[in-house]
């Protein structure tokens, strides 16, 4: 109650406003920390609501809408003795993949919130530490502890509310810009601008949590300041003998409270809807918290032990700058740990994200090499059209196989004459595909690997196809992606889940699929013969199809073109992560600059004394830039150490909950680019502090406190 009453006293407000004016850069950094953190979370919430609204209209993207049985065939997997095999629900299986992605996006947005919270905490910790003598003077003049505390609480309240309001206002145009750029939380559909809905309740709760973070960030520093020894604090500094005790900032664990509240609030809908994905969510939350704890617990000790060694890598001609920076690391390295920890966390997440993206693109390439690389596909724009009319324009050297159209999702099947499929496989020159095609015929079927996983079937099992035209049981003679794929517009996972039946069995799917000749697959026997001898499997399609005219009603796409489109789509699915981590990188740069400005302000007399002793302004600026480089180099190195296992863990979770065959691999340049990116960001952030340090007034060094 005393604290609340003190907040409304004019002197408290006057002192708080004076402090904010004196620390303009720190106040601005704290406001931006809260604003960008809350804005990032709110943008994700707005995009997620819009994504849900758009995807709720189709049964393909909304598992709550029933699949109308009369619109597609029914498929069942059976053992050779006729025993039914339990199959996964296609809607739930597909939906779970995207729910996992959405949960990862929500968790990723908390990285910006966390870095913003660290900026607020560090700002208040340093600000209160710098004002210890001022606090002691106020106490000796008769100010009560609640009055002194109210000054800093009022500052935190202003910064928290200002940052939360700015974040709320900024999130709305940012969300519209993201939607206009095609960014969603699943990558499956675009959000029309008129369909955007603002979840005001959730947004206000996020902003309130951001404002609360500012208040929590000031409580522990103020409590420590109120316990200081007034007489010792007011003594001239030379009486302390220069043996300053190395202090580490504490109280940061308070930030875990709003952070975990947001984790629970953002993931609560997914816990309720899909308990099967719980392990993945826990893993992602554990990874984020592990990065947080690593930044807080381990980085200070690593800086103290390795920072001085890193400084020695600087050029020898900068001997004075190296020596002074080395002494700073030895005596005050814990202050640098906050900046290093923030840079580490941001770039570790970036590295883990790009490891996962690269693995998914490699998965696309591996599948494309089996399913589409040797082929070119012709398919009509109109659903009821036929590409067969285009065949006379195709070069005579190519072998063609005519397919029916696909039956509607989720039970996809199409028909092809077995003789044409065999000729296509022989033209491609791959022994495995040729062997499967020779077993194919009436009463037989080939299923893709994803279709086999969904129904739990293998070679020798049966696939029952039924619909308005009756039912047939077909023997599975191949589980492969090497032969039988034909291209059509649609989602990647859905296109890879299909069954191929013989043209003789086409009548069973005829009510749902256009006749044979709707889609064409082409192969080049010349390239196939060379591939059989160990040559390249991809024909020179640009040369072969150079004289083929393009028409408006039939599309022609080569396997490499489709692969490039699929890779581009995979990258587009992860653009929202790049957006989130882009905001987080900006926050990390603000945090580095803020830490350096605050530290330089506290060291202004030290810098001025260095100038009196002969140090030039250029040397001072160079010393500050070296400090920024140290933050970047150590943060980047630790990001590589942390990001690689995080990327591996993310891929392990992805393998567990999805059907994609992703394998961990890291391109050698990824680690180097991560370290260089972290160093570049830290150096850019240190430019402003370096310019300010170079203008220090040498006369200050002779002032007596």
**For residue range 68-108, what is the model confidence (pLDDT) as tens digits?**
657 889 999 999 998 999 888 777 777 766 776 777 777 77
**262 located within any domain:** yes
Residue 554: name the closest of 400, 374, 391, 372 by CA.
Answer: 391
Paired residues of 509 in beta bridges = none
Residue 59 near residue 91, CB atoms below 8 Å? yes
Tell whether 355 and 446 lie within a shared domain.
no
Confidence of residue 657 (pLDDT cuts 50, 70, 90): low
Q: Same structural domain for residues 182 and 265?
A: yes
Q: What is the pLDDT of residue 257?
A: 53
For residue 143, is pLDDT > 90? no
- Decide if pLDDT at 119 tops 70: yes
Over residues 247-256, the pLDDT tens digits come to 444 445 555 5
* Res 241: pLDDT: 45
455-461 long-range CB contacts below 8 Å, 24 or more apart? 455/75, 455/76, 455/77, 455/85, 455/87, 455/88, 456/77, 456/85, 456/86, 456/87, 456/88, 457/77, 457/85, 460/80, 461/77, 461/78, 461/79, 461/80, 461/85
Looking at per-residue pLDDT, the higher value among 519 and 641 belongs to: 519
Residues 397 and 353 in one domain: no
Name the burial class of residue 255, with classes exposed (0-12), middle (13-18) and buried (19+) by CB atoms within 10 angstroms of its CB: buried
Domains identified in the chain, total number: 3
- pLDDT tens digits, residue range 207-260? 998 888 888 877 777 777 777 766 666 665 544 444 444 444 444 555 555 665
Question: Does residue 606 form part of some domain?
Answer: yes
Backbone angles phi, psi at 199, to 5 degrees: -80, 80
Contact 27, 596 (CB under 8 A): no
CB 415 within 8 A of CB 506: yes
Q: DSSP alpha helices (H): ranges in 405-516? A: 418-428, 431-439, 449-455, 492-495
Q: Are residues 194 and 341 in the same domain?
A: no
Residue 329 lies in a domain: yes
Which of helix, strand or coil describes residue 471? Answer: strand
Mean pLDDT of 107-124: 78
| Same domain? 358 vs 408 | no
Structural domain range at position 613 = 315-371+569-705
294-322 per-position pLDDT tens digit: 556 677 777 777 776 777 766 777 777 67
Token pair recorded at residue 299: 């980085």
Domain check: are 394 and 442 in the same one? yes
Q: Are residues 426 and 342 in the same domain?
A: no
Omega of the bond leading into 410 within 30 degrees of 0 (cis) = yes
For residue 454, pLDDT over 70 is answered with: yes
Q: For 462, phi and psi rounded to 5 degrees?
A: -115, 150
| pLDDT at position 616 | 78
The per-residue DSSP string of 117-159 comes to HHHHHHHHHHHHHHTHHHHHHHHHTT--HHHHHHHHHHHHHHH
Inform me whether the pLDDT recorded for 696 exceeds 70: no
Share of the chain above pLDDT 70, in %: 82
429/465 same-domain check: yes
Cα–chain-centroid distance for residue 309? 33
The pLDDT of residue 233: 62
Predicted pLDDT at 656: 67
First-residue to last-residue Cα distance in the chain: 36
164 pLDDT more than 80 = yes
Q: Are residues 399 and 451 in the same domain?
A: yes
**Which residues are paired to 475 by β-bridges?**
444, 462
Q: What is the mean pLDDT of residues 269-288?
A: 56
pLDDT confidence of residue 247: 45
Q: Is 557 part of any domain?
A: no
* 78, part of any domain: no
C-alpha closest to that of 484 among 505, 506, 499: 499
Instruction: Look at residue 607 and tell me whether its pLDDT is greater than 70.
Output: yes
Round to whole Å and give the CA distance between 637 and 588.
16
Using 50, 70 and 90 to split pLDDT, how confident is the model at 6? Answer: low
Residues 435, 477 share a domain: yes
For residue 145, is pLDDT > 80?
A: no
Residues 321 and 437 occupy one common structural domain: no
**414/349 same-domain check:** no
* Opening angle at CA 349, ends 580 and 39, nearest 5: 20
- Rounded to whole angstroms, the Cα distance separating 314 from 357 reads 35
- Find the mean pLDDT for residues 414-438: 93
Least confident of 23-32, 118-127, 170-179, 547-556: 118-127
């Amino acid at each position: 109650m005393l604290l609340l009453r003190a907040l409304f006293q004019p002197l408290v407000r006057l002192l708080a406003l004076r402090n904010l004016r004196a620390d303009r850069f720190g106040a601005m950094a704290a406001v931006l920390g809260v604003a960008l953190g809350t804005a990032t979370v709110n943008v994700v919430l707005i995009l997620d609501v819009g994504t849900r609204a758009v995807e709720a209209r189709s049964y393909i993207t909304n598992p709550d809408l029933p699949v109308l049985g009369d619109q597609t065939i029914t498929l069942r997997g059976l053992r050779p003795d006729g025993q039914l095999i339990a199959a996964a629900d296609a809607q739930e299986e597909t939906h779970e993949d995207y729910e996992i992605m959405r949960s990862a996006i929500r968790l990723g947005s908390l990285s910006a919130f966390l870095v913003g919270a660290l900026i607020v905490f560090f700002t208040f910790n340093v600000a209160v530490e710098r004002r210890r003598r001022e606090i002691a003077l106020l106490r000796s003049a008769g100010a009560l502890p609640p009055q002194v505390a109210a000054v800093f609480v009022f500052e935190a309240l202003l910064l928290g509310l200002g940052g939360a309001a700015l974040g709320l206002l900024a999130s709305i145009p940012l969300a519209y810009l993201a939607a206009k750029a095609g960014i969603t939380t699943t990558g499956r559909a675009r959000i029309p601008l008129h369909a955007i809905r603002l979840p005001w309740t959730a947004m206000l709760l996020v902003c309130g949590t951001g404002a609360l973070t500012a208040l929590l960030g000031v409580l522990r520093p103020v409590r420590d300041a109120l316990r200081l020894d007034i007489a010792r604090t007011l003594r001239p500094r030379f009486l302390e003998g220069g043996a300053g005790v190395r202090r580490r900032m504490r109280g940061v664990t308070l930030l875990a409270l709003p952070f975990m509240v947001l984790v629970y609030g953002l993931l609560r809908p997914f816990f309720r809807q899909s308990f099967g994905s719980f392990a993945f969510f826990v893993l992602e939350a554990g990874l984020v918290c592990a990065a947080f704890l690593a930044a807080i617990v381990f980085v200070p000790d690593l800086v103290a032990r390795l920072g001085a060694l890193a400084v020695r890598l600087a050029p020898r001609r900068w001997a004075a700058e190296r020596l002074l920076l080395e002494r700073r690391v030895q005596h005050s390295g814990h202050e640098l740990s906050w900046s290093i920890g923030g840079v580490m966390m941001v770039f570790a997440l970036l590295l883990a994200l790009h490891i996962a993206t690269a693995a998914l693109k490699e998965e696309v390439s591996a599948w494309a090499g089996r399913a589409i690389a040797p082929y070119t596909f012709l398919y009509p724009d109109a659903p009821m059209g036929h590409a067969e009319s285009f065949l006379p324009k195709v070069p005579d050297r190519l072998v063609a196989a005519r397919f029916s159209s696909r039956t509607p999702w989720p039970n996809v099947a199409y028909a092809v004459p077995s003789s044409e499929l065999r000729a296509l496989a022989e033209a491609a020159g791959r022994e495995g595909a040729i062997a499967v095609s020779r077993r194919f015929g009436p009463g037989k079927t080939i299923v893709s690997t994803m279709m086999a996983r969904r129904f739990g079937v293998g070679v020798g099992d049966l696939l029952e196809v039924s619909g308005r035209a009756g039912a047939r049981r077909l023997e599975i003679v191949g589980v492969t992606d090497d032969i039988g794929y034909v291209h059509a517009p649609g989602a990647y996972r859905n296109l890879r889940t299909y069954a191929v039946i013989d043209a003789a069995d086409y009548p069973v799917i005829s009510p749902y699929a256009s006749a044979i000749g709707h889609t064409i697959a082409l192969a080049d026997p010349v390239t196939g013969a060379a591939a059989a001898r160990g040559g390249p499997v991809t024909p020179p399609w640009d040369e072969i199809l150079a004289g083929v005219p393009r028409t408006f009603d039939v599309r022609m796409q080569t396997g490499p073109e489709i692969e490039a489109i699929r890779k581009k789509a995979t990258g587009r699915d992860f653009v929202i992560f790049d957006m989130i981590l882009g905001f987080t990188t900006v926050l990390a740069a603000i945090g580095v600059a803020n830490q350096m400005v605050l530290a330089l302000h506290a060291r202004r007399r030290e810098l001025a004394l260095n100038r009196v002793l002969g140090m030039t302004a250029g040397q001072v600026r160079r010393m500050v830039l070296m400090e920024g480089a140290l933050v970047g180099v150590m943060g980047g190195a630790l990001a590589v150490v942390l990001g690689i296992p995080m990327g591996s863990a993310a891929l392990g979770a992805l393998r567990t909950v999805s059907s994609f065959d992703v394998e961990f691999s890291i391109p050698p340049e990824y680690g180097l680019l991560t370290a260089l990116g972290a160093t570049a960001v830290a150096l850019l952030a240190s430019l402003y502090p370096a310019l300010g340090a170079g203008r220090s007034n040498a006369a200050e060094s002779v002032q007596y406190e």
